[in-house]
Copies of this chain bind each other. A is one copy, B any other.
């Protein structure tokens, strides 16, 4: 290995270390932020619940297994989340017409509304936080995060 290659490798290691650090930190901060903004209106959309509604909105009604697989969650967890969401009138359960075992979960109008409100609040928050960023930097961040997630998702799901 040439000196040049060694140096490049070393700096790349450092970059990976930074990424690792920042992702870990982001998760802590994200938790804290979620908790901080988790007033009464949001509390029912803790964690996965929000993502469930997002997912139902984005990809249409689907059954519990599909949701669980997509969100990397155990089926029992999704079942309970869905029960809570149903109790609060944010989703509806219906028997799957093509599979007697299945239950199709759909968002209710109230659920979509609540989801949109939380999403808007968060988007506003990011607009606030990133107020002094250039549009280019914001766009780059969004793009790289998307690519990171795709890579992570592939990695998580494949091996």
B149–A32 CB distance below 8 A: no
Interface residues of A, Cβ cutoff 8 Å to B: 8, 11-13, 15-33, 36, 48, 50-51, 54, 71-72, 119, 122-123, 125-130, 133, 135, 137-142, 144-149, 151-153, 155-156
A151-B129 contact given A22-B146, A24-B50, A144-B137, CB 8 Å threshold: yes
Residues of B within 8 A of A36 (CB): 156
Q: Is the interface of A mostly helix, strand, loop or mixed?
A: helix
A123-B51 contact given A26-B26, A29-B152, A141-B144, CB 8 Å threshold: no
What's the minimum C-beta distance from A115 to chain B, rounded to whole angstroms? 11
B123–A22 CB distance below 8 A: no
A51, B23: Cα distance in complex, Å: 11
B149–A29 CB distance below 8 A: yes
Residues of B within 8 A of A149 (CB): 22, 25-26, 29
A16-B156 contact given A21-B54, A27-B30, A29-B149, CB 8 Å threshold: no
17 A–B contacts from the bound complex (CB under 8 Å): A8-B135, A12-B138, A15-B138, A17-B119, A20-B126, A24-B50, A24-B122, A25-B149, A26-B145, A29-B149, A29-B152, A32-B156, A33-B155, A129-B155, A130-B148, A133-B147, A137-B147
Residues of B within 8 A of A123 (CB): 13, 16-17, 20
A122, A142, A156 — most chain B CB neighbours (10 Å): A142
